[in-house]
Structure 1
Amino acid sequence: MAQHFMKSAAMRDLTVMDIAMMSEEQCHSYFCKVRWKSESAQVCPHCGSINRHYFRRQRWQWRCKDCNGYFSVTSGTPFHGHKMKFKQMLLGLMIFVNSANSISVDRLSRDMDVQVKTAHVFAGKLREALMTTQDLEPLSGVVQIDGAHFCGMPRFGRRRKRTDRVIDIAGRVKEKFGKEKSNENERPPRSRTNRINWEKRKNRRIVMVLRQVSPIQGQGAERTITAICKSENQVDALSLANRFIAPGTLIMTDENPAYSLLGDQVDPLTKKRKWHHQTVVHSIEFSSDDGVNDNQCESYYSRMRRWVKGVSHRATPKYLADRAVEMAWRDDTRRVTLGKKLEQLLAAIFHQGPSLWWRGYWQKHHRAEEILFQA
């Protein structure tokens, strides 16, 4: 049996141990190499001059030879004005990359030896960079679409509903291990009728996911686009398809009525059917005999649910879009080595600019509201 890529030595081209053995100078050089593709030449963010500028070792800064402006490798990025050491930041980046289902802020603060507030903002900046640099070019080939419910879930009550029925223990054992099963000995359901409990449904959100399937059999999905909606409806589904799916694409969905109009759309340029739509009826089967399924969407939701249940233990609407994009990035890079994922994440940070949502977060400079898809 072939070894899984995640267990291979090729996956471990750069590890936490490698970074732990690096010096502060080596970590600083790594940042420079990723940002400027060079360890000797730098780009001045003030005037754009590319040169070997004057380096101020004690301040980890350069002075531009042309405009005399001072800058560092993190100038004009989310890490602008940082107080952490470069080795500390690089370790935090690698720990974030190395977590399959994300990492809790408490765990990250312990691993980086920083305050929980610092770790919270640090991780938030990484997700913001992934959001602002994600590839939103239209998907093509075979695309699967689905929606799943997150946030706003009422919890089960502490007590079960009253019943006058006597539970037959022997009957339950026979029912469970016997050949024939009946519903006579079912336990009564727990109540959810508390009004405060049901008020939680106001925060109910649907994570819509569109996944482009790789043409190579067995490789799964290769690119993912996500959106947050308040319901799984025809208006949002059609608008998502028009914006993120190229004409001529084969779309696979389940039997939800929200996707019933996808196969009826006409391309105004060619006057032909815009997309080919195939449906799998989940009440009957997970995959049709012809191979119609949305298993790649379910794979993505599996990772999302593992994050909710095993890492964060909760999900809130305000930052659900950030988490959805993070999980999409983790799923799309599941066959990428650790070193390349680290470079990809660091490149996204350097391409973003100063943080809009997390700079001054603890001084109450928060994002105003959640990011919902606008049809």
Structure 2
Amino acid sequence: MAQHFLISAKARTLSLKAVFRMGEDAAYRTFCEMRWPETDGEAVCPKCGCYETYNITTRRRFKCVACYAQFSVTSGTIFASRKLAFTDLLAAIAIFANGAKGVSALQASRDLDVQYKTAFVLFHKLREAMIREAHGRTLDGIVEVDGAYFGGYVKPANERENRRDRRLVANQSGKRKSVVVMRERDGETLTFVGKSEAAGVAVVREHVASSAVIHADEASHWDALHGSHETYRINHSVSYSDGVACTNMAESFFSRLRRAEIGVHHHIAGPYLPSYAGEMAWREDNRRVDNGGQAAKMAGAAMEAPVSRAWKGYWQRAA
């Protein structure tokens, strides 16, 4: 029997030991090469695009010859105004990449010896950069569609006579949301978060090409897809694959997201659910990439992403 990729040596091309051994200067140079790959790490002014700059080595900053603007390797990126050392940033990315089902901010704060809020914000910035890769994506070929509910857990009453049926709307918190996944067979993944699974029908029509073949379960709201796409249905109360229709790839995504919710984060708040769903979609799409390659893709996406508007100044107190 062939060895699974994830436990093979090919899947391990980066370790924390290697990151900390490289030192701060090498880590800084790595960020320069990721920011300006077309010039082999030589600075390019983000304001006017000039290739001629002065290197202020004592402050690790640059000054543009043309417009005199000063900038650093992280200026204008999602890491702007960073306070962590470059070695710590690379280590955080490596830790994040190594979590097959995600990594909790609490664990990262202990591994890196930083505040919980620092790790929490940093990881959400990485998720924001990762999700940008899916913007404007259209799926084609064979696309599996499914939905599942996450969050909004209400702890049941202790005494039997006081217990309530949490399946009823009256006994729910109102925070539970549906994640709808659209996943190509051996291709890319898109996610949508809404109040109900039925709200995903319009999203599927928007992001799945009309030439695609859709596989879905027997939920009644997917009936509307027959009018716009060639659609096959599977009745999960009978089987999970009947030789024609199958949504096992979509179910695989939900397995990863559910394990992340239950076993890693324990609770995913409603406003953050789209970020966690997008992260797990990225992990599913890159599950056959070695951990070094995943870390490089994360870091590259972060250096290409603009300053975060959602997480900028998150921990700064109001006056």
Q: State the TM-score, normalizing by the size of structure 1.
A: 0.80
Q: Which residue of 1 aligns with 2:201?
A: 238
For residue 8 of structure 2, what is the amino acid of its counterpart?
Answer: S
1:208 aligned counterpart, secondary structure: strand
Q: Which residue of 1 aligns with 2:289?
A: 336
In structure 2, stretches of 5+ residues that fail to align are none
Q: Which residue of 1 aligns with 2:44?
A: 43
| 1:91 and 2:91 are equivalent in the alignment | yes
For residue 46 of structure 1, what is the amino acid of its counterpart?
Answer: K
Indicate the structure (1 or 2) with the bigger Cα radius of gyration: 1
For each residue in 1:212-270, what CA deviation from the matched residue of structure 2 results, as whole angstroms up to 9, or x when unmatched? 002xxxxxxx211000111122xx333112211112211000000010011123xxxxx
Q: Which residue of 1 aligns with 2:55?
A: 55
For each residue in 1:286-313, what CA deviation from the matched residue of structure 2 results, as whole angstroms up to 9, or x when unmatched? 111x241111111111111111111111
For each residue in 1:186-235, what CA deviation from the matched residue of structure 2 results, as whole angstroms up to 9, or x when unmatched? xxxx82269xx965431121000000002xxxxxxx211000111122xx
Q: Which residue of 2 aligns with 1:269?
A: none
Q: How many residues align?
A: 315
Distance 1:212 1:362 in 2: 39
Alignment check: 8 A CA contact 2:33 2:42 kept? no
Q: Which residue of 1 aligns with 2:188?
A: 223
Distance 2:70 2:269 in 1: 41
Structure 1 range deviating more: 111-120 or 150-159: 150-159
For residue 26 of structure 2, what is the amino acid of its counterpart?
Answer: Q
**Closer/same/farther in 2, CA of residues 23 and 156 from structure 1, 3 Å limit:** same
Distance 1:364 1:325 in 2: 29
Distance 1:84 1:364 in 2: 19
Q: Select which of 218, 225, 238 maps to 1:255.
A: 218
1:54 aligned counterpart, secondary structure: strand
For each residue in 1:113-142, what CA deviation from the matched residue of structure 2 results, as whole angstroms up to 9, or x when unmatched? 111111111111111212233243210110
1:363 aligned counterpart, secondary structure: coil
Q: Select which of 178, 184, 190 maps to 1:206.
A: 178
Distance 1:134 1:44 in 2: 27
Distance 2:44 2:66 in 1: 11
Q: Select which of 278, 282, 297 maps to 2:232.
A: 278
Distance 1:262 1:256 in 2: 11
Alignment check: 8 A CA contact 1:154 1:192 kept? no
Q: Which residue of 2 aligns with 1:323?
A: 276
Q: Select which of 294, 312, 318 maps to 1:359.
A: 312
Distance 2:153 2:170 in 1: 8
| 1:298 and 2:251 are equivalent in the alignment | yes
For residue 242 of structure 1, what is the amino acid of its counterpart?
Answer: R
Alignment check: 8 A CA contact 1:29 1:39 kept? no
Alignment check: 8 A CA contact 2:29 2:41 kept? no
Q: Select which of 284, 300, 306 maps to 1:347.
A: 300
For residue 241 of structure 2, what is the amino acid of its counterpart?
Answer: S
In structure 1, stretches of 5+ residues that fail to align are 162-189, 215-221, 266-274, 366-375
Percent of paired sites with the same residue: 36
Q: Which residue of 1 aligns with 2:25?
A: 25
1:260 aligned counterpart, secondary structure: helix
1:50 aligned counterpart, secondary structure: coil
**Closer/same/farther in 2, CA of residues 193 and 226 from structure 1, 3 Å limit:** closer
Q: Which residue of 1 aligns with 2:103?
A: 103
Alignment check: 8 A CA contact 1:210 1:226 kept? yes
Distance 1:241 1:104 in 2: 31
User: CA shift at 1:329, angstroms?
Assistant: 0.6
Alignment check: 8 A CA contact 1:43 1:49 kept? yes
For residue 257 of structure 1, what is the amino acid of its counterpart?
Answer: S
For residue 246 of structure 1, what is the amino acid of its counterpart?
Answer: A
Distance 2:79 2:201 in 1: 38
Alignment check: 8 A CA contact 1:131 1:322 kept? yes
User: CA shift at 1:40, angstroms?
Assistant: 4.8
